[in-house]
Structure 1
């Protein structure tokens, strides 16, 4: 069998919390600009430019996507901020998964319990392809939530057929 390589992008859905953060950033920017006009009018233009850039930068950082890369049994998940900055979040071999099932699978919920930490790399909505996997990572039992597409699921199933419980 040849090498297996699959990639997938998942956009994180904006939540009410994200909306509140955006509103607070804009409010803080307005207050800073008003305060600069009152207390240091000679630097008003400079403050407006700096505050506007800072507010724009903070609001854009809420545009998040997760990229899943599945290569020969290794799953790498990167966080992409505003389609420009990439950060590796985790790299794990699916062979280390103790169990993997749909997050709402009541028949296998006991296998997905007893974890110390939750990592959510999903869109934030529970869909038909929202799965949880439990494994050891950095000496902690971790529950990872993610949304693999059909091709990645097939690749995982090929390696751990008894540990992956596909939703029917």
Structure 2
């Protein structure tokens, strides 16, 4: 069989408000637990805030893993390097076009009202390595593949993928 396998991992930039919320929730949880030794209902509130802090911790440290296997792009979300969740699978055959974010090839698609989903690092680097692809006429996906993955997808769909 002629299968192509390419893997790429991209760390999402943590927003400053998430860092602030993470620290604030941990401090509040510790304070309520300490007060809870004297006043019991504060212990329950401290435990609830601690559970919330745990979920904030998981969602503050995100990475996206892109897998390209035999004309299929799978995107997994890795939370705090401990939990993995498959968020999307895309068939390259149903993809309309794939090009860099600021490509002139995407000019015909600018006025469309598609649902935008961002699986990239969330920041514009120099040079910008993010790509956009339109899927099934209703989705606009932003992601940040490496050069090897772009070549593999271009090999599978040469008329749909542009590198500019």
TM-score higher than 0.5 here? yes
**Unmatched 5+ residue regions in structure 2?**
none
1:115·1:134 contact (CA, 8 Å) conserved in 2? no
Pick from 154, 157, 162 the counterpart of residue 157 of structure 1: 154
2:81 paired with 1:83: yes
Q: Which residue of 1 aligns with 2:99?
A: 101
On the 8 A contact 1:122/1:146 being kept in 2, the answer is yes
Structure 2: distance between partners of 1:21 and 1:94: 39
Aligned to 2:33: 33
Instruction: Report the count of equivalent residues.
Output: 161
* Residues 34 and 106 of structure 1: CA distance in aligned 2, closer, same or farther (over 3 Å): farther
1:32-67 deviation per Cα after TM superposition (whole angstroms, max 9, x unaligned): 3365355328x85x876x468536523431111111
State the Cα distance separating 1:27 from its structure 2 match.
4.8
Aligned CA RMSD, in angstroms, stands at 2.7
Name the TM-score, length of structure 2 as normaliser: 0.82
Q: Which residue in the other structure is 1:130 paired with?
A: 130
Deviations 1:52-90 (A, max 9, x none): 853652343111111101001100000011111111111
Q: Distance in 2 between matches of 1:67 and 1:144?
A: 14
Q: 1:96 to 1:33 in 2, by over 3 A?
A: same
Q: 1:112 to 1:9 in 2, by over 3 A?
A: farther
Aligned counterparts of 1:82 and 1:95: Cα–Cα separation in 2: 33
Structure 1 residues 106 and 16: CA distance shift in structure 2, 3 A: farther
Once the 2 structures are TM-superposed, how far is the Cα of residue 2 of structure 1 from its aligned partner? 2.3
CA contact (8 A) 2:99 2:105 kept: no
Query: TM-score if structure 1 supplies the norm length?
Result: 0.80
Q: Secondary structure at the match of 1:151?
A: helix
Structure 1: stretches of 5+ with no match in the other structure: none
